[in-house]
Structure 1
Amino acid sequence: MNALLGELTRFSVMAKTPCWRLLAFLVLMATRAQASKNTEKCKLVHESNSERKVLSFLEPLTNQTFTAHTKEGEDEYTYMFQVCGDADGVKDAGMVQRDQNGKHVLIGNYSLTQAVRGSDWVMLIYLGGEKYHGHCSQEQRRAIIMISCDRTKAAGQLSVVLEDRERVTNCFYLFELDSSAVCPIIESKLSTGSILLIAGFSFLAVYLIIGFLYQRLVVGAKGVEQFPNYGFWSEIGNLSADGCDFVCRSRGSREEPPTYRGVPAEPIEEPEERDDHLLPM
């Protein structure tokens, strides 16, 4: 339970998801915690925390029976597989083979389990099956189930790949199964710019929706006046132009006194015309 709370806290702080997603995550983790008791039925050949952790990825596949059918000449066989459960009701049988007459052959025993995990697959091995009669030095049968990642399928169809019994030892049955349970978790990594853009667009959407509803339902505006702060936004172009004009243009006089070689020009005083001589004496 402490581990569950720890993962929930880490998830909520780092991902910052909405409350309903946190609730869904909590339900999922609680379901997995409860389902982990099913994988405890598998007894590992060599008990280890690493293999036990691998088995935990297969928890969504427990309590299900997967079947596959093959035909060899006139003989037909049905294979039944369960993750840490009794296949076809046979005690301790993880994988069984049944012929058309209903006879069972134990292929693998989940009380002798091995589990290996790769980047997007899990290999489950059941040992301790019935002994061969005339093959493989009469050793016990074993089943290898390759469970590969497929995000489109919670649990796919079990298929028989081959039965390799032409060896002297280490013969095996190989099966394949696709499931999203073994897929790696895709971590969402958003940059600071992406987070700011998402926050900005979210704020803008809330502003527009609430402002529109207020203008329409409370103020009773119609047409384009329903747009929040319509007066301000309609003048935004003029205000921007005024601001640019204020910043980029000088308000002082642009006239400069004509100068030549550093000598300032002074206003030339025209000689005053004397017209006293025109007056009658």
Structure 2
Amino acid sequence: MAMSLSLRAVAVLIVLTVEVQASENTSRCKLSAPDERAKNALRLLEPLTNQSFTAKSQDGNDSYEYVFKVCDDAEGMKDAGVVQKDKKGKQTRIGSYTDTQVIEGSDWVMLIYRSGEKYDNHCQNEQRKAIIIISCNKSATVAHLTMVQEQNIIDSDCFYLFELDTSELCPVAQSKLSPGSIFLIVCFSCLAVYLIGGFLYQRLVVGAKGVEQFPNYAFWSEIGNLSADGCDFVCRSRGSREEQPTYRGVVTEPLEEPEERDDHLLPM
């Protein structure tokens, strides 16, 4: 039992050590301008660490091979981020990750390794420099490095230009649905489940026929009647309502004259 616990503890420590190392891989790059934006751009390249990328020169005879690593020693050469190898196996440090500059774009990152070995007969014997443009390519299942060109026919600021296509740099697709649309979809989905599930239950379990198969038919029919009554009360006028009193004129009737009695004029 104690041995099992100790093995588990060792396994946990190994996993934690690997995770810490993985999270600190890009920190080995020494930024020439260590601002927060450059650090964030460098963290985007974390999935590409612990990998080695190779490319052939584009002069047509494959006389050189280039090896590139993100913030790590290429071909085991100390501090070398990009190494050039000729056919005889001679290695030349093109750029050092101890002198790094990073520029971030919308879906690309430009990684610049400076402080390479000095030119022999070009560019006024200045130090070599490697520029690697790492771009998003969703169809690139495996990252592919391409040597674009070596600019060494100018007097100064010469460079080696590389391109690396990878899907690791592609931004995560965001949902285009608004919160209101999501709410409506959820409501319609729940309504569909309620109607279909209730219909099957009423038909197969209860054995209802006709409109009785509608789930909670009695309840919904009462809701309909009450809604109709409310609409009828609000929107329709009724004859039973008391009429407002109206003005009536005084009827003029002819006055009856008192009947004259002349009985006393008769002879007795």
How many correspondences in the alignment? 233
Pick closer, same or farther for the CA change 1:118–1:225 going to 2, 3 Å: same
SS in 2 for 1:114: strand
Q: 1:92 aligned to 59, 65, 79, which one?
A: 79
Deviates more, 1:35-44 or 1:145-154: 145-154
Deviation at 1:65, TM superposition (A): 1.8
**Does the 8 A contact of 2:144 with 2:166 survive in 1?**
no
1:170 paired with 2:157, answer: yes
Deviation at 1:247, TM superposition (A): 4.5
Partner in structure 1 of residue 22 of structure 2:
35
Q: 1:78 aligned to 61, 65, 74, which one?
A: 65
Q: 1:143 aligned to 130, 141, 147, which one?
A: 130
**Does the 8 A contact of 2:80 with 2:95 survive in 1?**
yes
Partner in structure 2 of residue 8 of structure 1:
none
- Distance in 2 between residues matched to 1:230 and 1:86, nearest whole Å: 74
**Does the 8 A contact of 1:155 with 1:177 survive in 2?**
no
Q: 2:194 aligned to 175, 198, 207, which one?
A: 207
- Residue type at the aligned position of 1:85: D
**Does the 8 A contact of 2:31 with 2:101 survive in 1?**
yes
Deviation at 1:140, TM superposition (A): 1.5
SS in 1 for 2:164: strand
Partner in structure 2 of residue 45 of structure 1:
32
Q: 1:161 aligned to 148, 165, 178, which one?
A: 148
Structure 1 unaligned residues grouped into runs of 5+: 1-30, 257-261, 265-281
TM-score normalized with structure 2 length = 0.67
**Does the 8 A contact of 2:85 with 2:91 survive in 1?**
yes
Deviation at 1:39, TM superposition (A): 0.8
Q: 2:117 aligned to 102, 109, 130, which one?
A: 130
Deviation at 1:166, TM superposition (A): 1.0
Deviates more, 1:70-79 or 1:238-247: 238-247
1:68 paired with 2:55, answer: yes
Deviation at 1:244, TM superposition (A): 5.2
Deviation at 1:184, TM superposition (A): 4.5
Question: Percent of pairs identical after alignment?
Answer: 62
Partner in structure 2 of residue 105 of structure 1:
92
Deviates more, 1:104-113 or 1:46-55: 46-55
Cα deviations by residue, 1:213-246 (Å, 9 ceiling, x for unpaired): 6446653557986553356668998887776555
SS in 1 for 2:63: strand
**Does the 8 A contact of 1:93 with 1:108 survive in 2?**
yes
SS in 2 for 1:67: strand
Deviation at 1:56, TM superposition (A): 0.5
Deviates more, 1:56-65 or 1:40-49: 40-49
**Does the 8 A contact of 2:143 with 2:167 survive in 1?**
no
**Does the 8 A contact of 2:28 with 2:71 survive in 1?**
yes
Partner in structure 2 of residue 118 of structure 1:
105
- Distance in 2 between residues matched to 1:160 and 1:190, nearest whole Å: 41
Q: CA RMSD in A?
A: 3.8
Pick closer, same or farther for the CA change 1:51–1:155 going to 2, 3 Å: farther
TM-score normalized with structure 1 length = 0.65
1:249 paired with 2:218, answer: no
